[in-house]
Each structure stands twice: as C-alpha cells, then as structure tokens.
Structure 1
C-alpha cells in the first residue's frame, strides 16, 4: 500500500512538473536548494539569479497553483513540502554547478542580511546601516529568517563553504543570545570554530573560541573556561591585545556570572584584574570595554562591602555606556546600580534605577533581561512599602519566563511571587496556587529541595 501511495504522489508530481513552462521548471528546481523550511520572495529572487521580482512572484504563484509550493497567507513566505523538495532534487533539469552557484548566492544573501541586522544589535559592528533602519526592523527580519539562518550555517558546513561558516555565526551570536537560544548558539559557534580551522583563519578561530565560551558559560562553565583560555592563547600568539583582553574579561567574570564566587579574595583578584584590563581597553580606544571593567570593579567592591566606592565605579560605567551608545550595556548597568543602591539602604533610588532598566530592556526587546529586571524591581518595591506593585512586577516576570519557555527560571520567579504574596498578605488561595505551580516546575527538573522549600510557604 505504501509503495502504491508513493507511486501515486510521484505520478501527480510528474504531471504537475511536465505542465510547467521551462522558466517555471527552473524556478521550482532552484527553490529546492534552500536548506531551510521556507523562504521569502526576496530569497526566491536571489535563487532565481536575481530575475526581476515581479516575474519571480508570478512564477511562485504559478507553482502554488500547481500545488508545488504554498504561500503562508499571514507571512507571505513560501514553503515546499519535504516530498516535493525531494522530488525536485532528483530531477536532472539543473546541472550540479547551477545548484552550487544557487547555494552560494543564497548563503551570501543570508550572511549579508545577518551582518546588516547585527549592526542594529551590536555597538561597533560593521555593515550597511541603511538596510534595516532600526533595531525593531532588524529583529523582525532575524525572527522571520531564524530557522533559515541556522539551516544556512549547517549547509555551509556540509558544503565546505568555510568563509560563510566563519562569518554567519559571528553575525548571529548577539541575536541568538538575546533570544536565549543557547543550544543553537553553541552549535553555530562550533561550526564557526571548525570552519576557521579548516580554512586557516587564525583570527576567526580565536574569536570563535571566545564566542563558544560565551555560549557555554551557563550550561557548562568548565568547558567555557577552557574555551576562553584557548581564545586568550590564540590571540596572544597573534599579538592581538584587544581580543585577548575581551576573552580575559569573560574568563574573569565567568565565576560571578554563574554564581560561583563566594570568598573575598576572589573578588579582590577580579577587581585588580579588571583595573588592569581597563587600562588596556582605554589605550585601545574601546569605551564600552572600559565601561564593562568599571561595572565589574563596582560589583566586586559591593561584594566586599565597599558600597560607596562601588556606586562611584558603577556610575562611571553608566556614563561610559551612555557616551558610547551601548544601550544594552547601559541597561545592564542600571539594573546593577539598582541592586547596589537597594543593598545600601537607598530603596527609593533603587526602584527608580530598576524601572529604568525594565524600560530599556523592553525597548531593546530583551525579554529575558526584562523578566529579571522585574524580579529586581519587586524586591525594591517591597523595600519601599509597595507590596501590590511588587506582586505585579513578579507576576510579569513569571509571564515572560513562561513565554520564553524558560521553565526553571519560571519556577524561581513563581517562588519569589509566592514570597511576595506572603509579604503583601495576598489571598490564601492565590498563594497556594502559586506555591503548587512552583513546586511542580521544580519537580519536573528533579529539584525536590526547591519543591519542599516553596511548599513551606503554603498558608
């Protein structure tokens, strides 16, 4: 029966294909080169050797009427069923060199788009700033093309397009970090590393080791540290001071980023290292790098109980990020400033700083950081005696983590909401519901201690 069904499908495809005009046959075959699940009319035009867009759109409409592709009515993007794609690949209407050339055009298209979008996300990145006029448009394109971009990286590896394998992941790292796609980030940086080695790109290899360290920092800190150390060594071999300084900054801040620094000696050591790195970044004209060092020094001083010095250093960082136009760094600094102000008994100022961080992260469409900033804001609001607003802030954090699919973070936010409801004297039924939801999340991850802890908050 299965063979009969397959023969019937092939018969239908044969009939549809034979009825096509030669130009439409060629377009159909070219579309099958796309490694991703769908494509835009713009990408189809690239595959069609940059035929006039109106002709390509008419060709796509013809293929849709023949049931060889279908258009998504909401997005206007085009899809080809896997069976249809396999049929197209089997046809002899395209020479191997034509398929190779089409793949090159498409990979170049995605690499250029990612580069130009990254300009709107990463201060100091180079690209065509007129392609996407603002951050919102850049993110919209990246979100729409996300699956194709990841598929393009994999296709570059399979086809041994090493230049694309090095460049495309570098343009995607900021976006994948922003969207919390850690697994994909780790995968594409692995591709970048392999590609750089394969083509002898020593600078690309050093950069890829650092980027791989960033990708691994949360899921595997030990491997992340090894990656940073390798990056430092590679940059030093090449005599590239800036790259080595960036990787050393990442290595030194890694323990605090994953919550593994406890003793004062380590904070003293980190502060000293970043004062030295600050001098390097200053000499190299990297203002955001200087600001990042000021922020790290301030946070170390705070953990050492030297709050006034900490505030001075963090405010210096804030000025540096503002003057360099690094809005993400500025948002991070407002959030950290709020933490230090709150810990210094200046809760009213802390709430103002937290609100600024929330607003900036929201403008940046950084939902994970927005959620974290809401949790910090809730702490500050409790400190100034506004429990109802604190409950609302925690609730927004829960909703954002749920939307992002960050289940364990959602459980932690639910626990904080439960504590907030207890402080606010919230209804027993609501407190019970929140506690039970948090416990269920913790148990899903095998965290029985967390489940017991949150159930201890039951009314």
Structure 2
C-alpha cells in the first residue's frame, strides 16, 4: 500500500507539493517543541522559565515519546528544502540524547546535520554539529575521532567569530584530550575555555571550565593548583544554585585533598557533595558521596 501511495503521489505534482508542504509543517512543529523542551533541560534557577511545557519532567516525557520521529525528521536534512530547520532541530536534541545516553542516535543525527550544514555553507550549524558529534564519539569510546570533531568545531566557531560557542568547544576538546591521556594539552584547552568565558562574563561557563581545569591539573600532580581551580568553580556554581555541578566539583575537590594528604578536608568535601547532590535530586550520586566520606578517617 505504501509503494502504491507513493506512486500515485509521484505522478501528481499537486499532491507531491502538498506532501512536501506537510513535511515542512511537521518539521517546523518539531523544531518549536524541541527548542522549548531543550530549554527546560538546560534551565537553571534564576533563568527565565521556558514556555510550552509545565516543567522539566513534562518536556522530557514529550521528548521520550517523540524520539523516533524527531530522529527521523532530522534526516530530512539530506533534502535542501528542509536542511536549515533540520540542522537546528538536531541541536535541540543534543542535550536530550546525552541525558538519555542515546549516543548511536546522536551520532546519526549529528552526522546528517553536519553534512547538510556544510553543503549550505552554514558555519554555525556545522560547528555545532561537529561539537555534538564529538561528545557522542567520546562517550562511545572513540576518543581520537572525538578530538578531531572538537578541533573542527573549535576552528569553525573561531573563524565565524562566535566566541561563546568557541569557549565551549575548547572545553569539550580539553575533556577529550584528557581522556586520551594528553593532560598538558587538556590544561591548555581548558585554560583557553576559561579565559574566553571570563571575557564574555559567562560565570556558569567559567565554572565548568575551572572544574575541568582542576581535573587536568590533578592528573599532572599539581594538587594545590587543582584545589584552587575547584574552589573557584564551586564559587560560581553556587551563584547559579547549580547543585549537580556543585556536587561534582565537591567530589573532585575531596579527591584532590586526599592526594594532598588532607583527609579531614576530603571528608568534609564528600559530605558537602552528598548534600549538593541531594538538593539536585540525584540520590545515587548523593549515596556514593556519603559512602566515600564514611571510608575516610578524618
């Protein structure tokens, strides 16, 4: 029946255009809704409340229910008529696919979007797709490919003069370099990310960069510098009431204190991490931090 239907439509220009226009409306609808849902996934206290969904749970439920259709719609980017909207839709799905760990879907979506953006000369779209692709490749153990993807993204944002996205691309590149065992290069990447965020006065982005920088400094045995970096990250995370980021950084700081032979400080930091994760509604992470605190004799 599907083959028959397609054959009928192909033989009638009016029906064909009607079908293409309908696909365009579906894609635009998906883009509007996915943009709003993505806003909820990225929302932090103090930021304007996103529209269309009542809360984060409602946004996530919609994304879960529509995932197959959303992923399929992005692949319409192979057709020029739908390319721009499909590329932006792919960026709206990046956080969700990371959150649910659907990395195979993300690699598919970002690959299609990258190719379409390149054909259209859309540097911003191509850079965003490369960076999202790099994250998915890193999460699936393809670190060398991830480094290449993040490097391409960084270069494209720099060429386009988009310092905001360039700062995040430097940070993601640093994470991939650290995972590849290239700690000194990672330190340089995170330092560049931090400096750009500082220039842009993006305090939350700066918190992320300080935390990542601390981890890379710790890898090279520079414990005191790592502790200072983590403390700067904590100050900024707490400004935004980003309790999950606070919990992660407290755990990293605890580990740095352990390496510096300060068990009492490490014990305190793990308890602070557990408290922050509890406030972030992350009970698994909170329980792990409490267990780590109990394992230390102050």
TM-score, length of structure 1 as denominator length: 0.56
| Alpha-carbon distance between aligned partners in 2 of 1:200 and 1:269, rounded to the nearest angstrom | 30
* 1:230 counterpart residue number: 152
Kindly tell me: are residues 131 and 233 of structure 1, through their superposed partners in 2, closer, same or farther at Cα, counting changes over 3 Å?
A: same
Residue in structure 2 matching 1:241, options 163, 171, 194? 163
Determine if the alignment matches structure 1 residue 212 to structure 2 residue 115: no
Q: Contact 1:111 / 1:168 at 8 angstroms: preserved in 2?
A: yes
Runs (4 or more) in structure 1 with deviation over 4 Å come to 85-94, 266-269, 325-328, 370-377
* 1:389 counterpart residue number: none
* 1:24 counterpart residue number: none
Q: Contact 1:117 / 1:132 at 8 angstroms: preserved in 2?
A: yes
Corresponding residue SS for 2:108? helix
Larger RCO, structure (CA 8 Å, separation 6 or more): 2
Q: CA deviation at 1:331?
A: 4.0
Equivalence map 1:54-453=2 (5 Å): 95-123=15-43, 129-157=50-78, 160-219=81-140, 220-256=142-178, 258=179, 260-261=180-181, 267=183, 270-324=186-240, 326-343=242-259, 344-346=262-264, 347-356=266-275, 358-360=277-279, 362=281, 374-375=287-288, 377-383=290-296
Q: Contact 1:209 / 1:228 at 8 angstroms: preserved in 2?
A: yes
Gaps of 5+ in 2: none
| Alpha-carbon distance between aligned partners in 1 of 2:197 and 2:111, rounded to the nearest angstrom | 28
Kindly tell me: are residues 360 and 337 of structure 1, through their superposed partners in 2, closer, same or farther at Cα, counting changes over 3 Å?
A: farther
Select the structure of larger CA radius of gyration.
1
Q: CA deviation at 1:115?
A: 0.2
| Alpha-carbon distance between aligned partners in 1 of 2:184 and 2:119, rounded to the nearest angstrom | 41
Cα-to-partner distance string for 1:350-400 (whole Å, 9 max, x where unaligned): 43134235435545xxxxxx6566555534333359xxxxxxxxxxxxxxx
Kindly tell me: are residues 230 and 159 of structure 1, through their superposed partners in 2, closer, same or farther at Cα, counting changes over 3 Å?
A: closer
Gaps of 5+ in 1: 1-82, 364-369, 386-459
Kindly tell me: are residues 290 and 97 of structure 1, through their superposed partners in 2, closer, same or farther at Cα, counting changes over 3 Å?
A: same
| Alpha-carbon distance between aligned partners in 1 of 2:240 and 2:269, rounded to the nearest angstrom | 24
Q: CA deviation at 1:146?
A: 1.5
Kindly tell me: are residues 273 and 102 of structure 1, through their superposed partners in 2, closer, same or farther at Cα, counting changes over 3 Å?
A: closer
Q: CA deviation at 1:114?
A: 0.5
| Alpha-carbon distance between aligned partners in 1 of 2:64 and 2:291, rounded to the nearest angstrom | 30
Cα-to-partner distance string for 1:29-85 (whole Å, 9 max, x where unaligned): xxxxxxxxxxxxxxxxxxxxxxxxxxxxxxxxxxxxxxxxxxxxxxxxxxxxxx6x6
Corresponding residue SS for 1:120? helix
1 or 2, which has the higher helix percentage? 2
| Alpha-carbon distance between aligned partners in 1 of 2:274 and 2:5, rounded to the nearest angstrom | 54
